[in-house]
Amino acid sequence: MKLANATVLITGANRGLGLAFAREALARGARKVYAAARDPSSVTLPGVVPIRLDVTKPDDIAAAARDYPDVTLLINNAGIAELGGFLSDTSVQSAQRHFDTNVVGPMRLTQAFAPVLAAHDGGAILNVLSVASWINGPMLGVYGMSKSAAWAMTNGTRIELHDQHTQVLALHVGFIDTDLTRGLDVPKLAPDDVVRTALDALEAGASEVLADELTRRVHAGLSAQPAVYLQAQDR
């Protein structure tokens, strides 16, 4: 899928990786960029169309699919990450919040926009996943569970959307320098670099892109002996 003349809807486009996607989509010649945010007044990038969309609100999603039938590329970017594993008193509530935002939100958006994309020769969906789809540890355990589920959803919807020729691209990536990782003392990627890698892969017709060395190493380790996810992770 080419960005030139595409009509793009990006969730969580007011800051972080979503803002970088919006900027790069415009730079690559997108016809229109709908910059979706819980608070559209927080969208300040010139050249985009701010729209209100909380991915946990089914009515917002239905309204977006109804009101923006010209969308050819959906970027499921909005996400949350709360620190913590599975055994604390607050883990279940945290898991529900992660699932609502990181899994069920993109799933509802995929359902709502599938017919819209079908009407434009299939179009494309880019789902922002994580290296945490494949490894888990106490620091980001619940977050990782939600990204594993979102990876499964991505793979399943790719198959279901195959016949309508919708390209479904999974972006797997390690730590990026955004608000989400503020306070984490780890090497971080620049959002603009991640977005360029992701959109190059999209334009090349890929189904999956591993955006950094950490992610490529973990992916290779899935079939190592012992597998990478059996080793203790400090994050």
Ligand X SMILES: NC(=O)c1ccc[n+]([C@@H]2O[C@H](COP(=O)([O-])OP(=O)(O)OC[C@H]3O[C@@H](n4cnc5c(N)ncnc54)[C@H](OP(=O)(O)O)[C@@H]3O)[C@@H](O)[C@H]2O)c1
CA distances from 198 to 32, 41, 60, 128, 201 (A): 19, 27, 26, 9, 5
Q: Which is nearer to ligand X, 118 or 139 (CB)?
A: 139
**Does residue 173 interact with ligand X by CB under 6 A?**
yes
CA 235 to chain centre: 20
**Does residue 114 interact with ligand X by CB under 6 A?**
no
H helix intervals, 31-140: 58-67, 91-98, 105-118
- The closest of 162, 174, 168 to 150, measured between CA atoms, is 168
**Does residue 14 interact with ligand X by CB under 6 A?**
yes
Cα(191)–Cα(178) distance, rounded to whole angstroms? Answer: 7
Given candidates 72, 94, 130, 148, which one binds ligand X under the rule CB under 6 A?
A: 130
**Does residue 56 interact with ligand X by CB under 6 A?**
yes
Q: Which is nearer to ligand X, 112 or 176 (CB)?
A: 176
- The closest of 6, 55, 12, 44 to 26, measured between CA atoms, is 6
Residues 6+ apart with CB under 8 A from 104: 56
Say how many residues touch ligand X, by CB under 6 A. 29
Q: How far is the CB of 103 from ligand X (least distance, A)?
A: 11
Residue span binding ligand X (CB under 6 A) among the ranges 32-40, 63-71, 157-165, 195-203: 32-40
Given candidates 157, 175, 209, 210, which one binds ligand X under the rule CB under 6 A?
A: 175
Residue span binding ligand X (CB under 6 A) among the ranges 14-22, 62-70, 118-126, 155-163: 14-22
**Does residue 48 interact with ligand X by CB under 6 A?**
no
**Does residue 180 interact with ligand X by CB under 6 A?**
yes
Cα(85)–Cα(143) distance, rounded to whole angstroms? Answer: 8
Q: Which residues bind ligand X (CB under 6 A)?
A: 11-12, 14-18, 37-39, 42, 54-56, 77-81, 101, 128, 130, 173, 175-176, 178-181
